[in-house]
């Protein structure tokens, strides 16, 4: 189980959730943030911090966004030569400047 960021984050990205995450597993794309399902410890701190109510536990999330959040880490994103996988922390990477094809096409 992991938490999932949905459509309401697109083009908002105020980053309130990132500041609350104890394991730094919320990664920044170009127009949206993504929670790494392999690193999330399901604490729920980000859910209450989001002013857009964009974050939900995965069993309640839009299935398309649940899959898309995972894809951000398991698929090779445009312009990159390997999948992100589990880098172990978003802060050292900073903004990645790329989104999944699903988010880019919205």
Contacts to ligand SF4 by CB under 6 A: 3, 5, 9, 12-17, 20-21, 23, 25-26, 33, 35, 40-46, 49-50, 52, 54-55
Q: Roughly how many angstroms between the first and final C-alpha of the chain, as a whole number?
A: 26
Greatest alpha-carbon span in the chain? 35
Shortest distance, position 38 Cβ to ligand SF4, whole Å: 11
Nearer CB in complex with ligand SF4: 81/89: 89
The rounded Cα 93 to chain-centroid distance in angstroms is 14
Q: In angstroms, rounded to a whole number, what is the distance separating the alpha carbons of residues 95 and 72?
A: 13
Helices and strands (H, E) in the chain, number of each type: 4, 4
Of 52 and 67, which CB lies nearer to ligand SF4 in the complex structure?
Answer: 52
**51 vs 81, which CB is nearer to ligand SF4?**
51
> Which C-beta is closer to ligand SF4: that of 5 or that of 77?
5
Cβ atoms of residues 3 and 96 within 8 Å? no
- Closest CB 81 distance from ligand SF4, rounded Å: 26
């Amino acid at each position: 189980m992991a938490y999932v960021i949905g459509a309401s984050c697109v083009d908002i990205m105020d980053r309130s959730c990132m500041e609350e995450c104890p394991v730094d597993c919320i990664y920044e794309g170009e127009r949206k943030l993504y929670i790494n399902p392999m690193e999330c410890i399901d604490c729920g701190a980000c859910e209450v911090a989001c002013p857009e109510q964009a974050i939900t536990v995965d069993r309640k999330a839009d299935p398309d966004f649940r899959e898309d959040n995972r894809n951000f880490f398991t698929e090779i994103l445009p312009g990159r030569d390997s999948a992100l996988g589990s880098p172990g922390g978003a802060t050292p990477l900073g903004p990645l400047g790329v989104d999944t094809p699903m988010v880019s096409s919205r």
